[in-house]
Amino acid sequence: MTMNHIYKEGTNEKVLLLLHGTGGTEQDLLPIARMIDPKASVLSVRGNVSENGMARYFKRIREGVFDEEDLIERTEELNQFIMEASQKYTFDRDQVIAVGYSNGANIAGSLLFHYKDSLKGAVLFHPMVPRRGKELPEQSGLPVFIGAGENDPICPAQETFDLKALLSDAGADVTDHWEKMGHQLTENEVITAANWYKDNF
């Protein structure tokens, strides 16, 4: 399974899986990875779906409505890709922590909704609930950070409340952080996430 990606080897055992927002590239979150853990290896992946020329990780029917079938398929594809990358680059598959923004946060959340032990932890900036009415695998003690906007026009606050509840019910240890900058990823949000990361990893 091929996905366009960048791999940079770090000096500790952690691997940050970087997942961009709609229309982004595998370069977008590199500066954020440096802020969160400059010593970690980085696996930054570009989405395989094109929406009017904009890279995404899965199709949507319209803004805020996901193509569920495609989401399931693409989540499996990404999970498989991480496994293959871990063999190719000889990193520990159990040390992968996702850092995703918007569409990238949604596919990272989807990994947690579909697979036990797919991630060691996750930093989700402005995610939505990937799927409703699904029983989640056991995610006991899994650290998850959610960065959200109180006035986010793309991702309503209720999505964050619901996502936190669903992941917490599956056993994850979820921290949420709120900003007032809409759907924008703020520097303060990243710094807060970096501090949370230090406490958890």
pLDDT digits (tens, 9 = 90+) for 147-198: 999 999 999 999 999 999 999 999 999 999 999 999 999 999 999 999 999 9
Q: Which of 44, 102, 110, 118 is catalytic?
A: 102
Mean pLDDT of 74-94: 97
**pLDDT for res 101:** 98
Read off the tokens for 11.
Answer: 């000096």
Report the percentage of the chain scoring pLDDT > 90: 98
What is residue 101's three-state secondary structure? Answer: strand
Confidence of residue 96 (pLDDT cuts 50, 70, 90): very high
Q: Is 152 one of the catalytic residues? A: yes
User: Cα angle at 37 between 197 and 32, to 5 degrees?
Assistant: 95
Residue 110 catalytic? no
Number of domains within the chain: 1
Q: What is the pLDDT of residue 166?
A: 98
Which candidate, 149, 187, 146, places its Cα nearest to that of 32?
187
101: nearest Cα among 189, 195, 200: 189
- Residue ranges making up the domain that contains 157: 5-200
Alpha-carbon distance of 86 to 192, in angstroms, equals 28
Percent of the chain with pLDDT over 70: 100
CB 67 within 8 A of CB 58: yes
pLDDT in tens, 54-65: 999 999 999 889
Q: What is the mean pLDDT of the chain?
A: 97
Rounded to whole angstroms, the Cα distance separating 130 from 70 reads: 12
Element (H, E) at 161: helix 157-169
Q: Which of 48, 44, 46 is nearest to 7 (CA)?
A: 44
CATH number, domain with residue 112: 3.40.50.1820
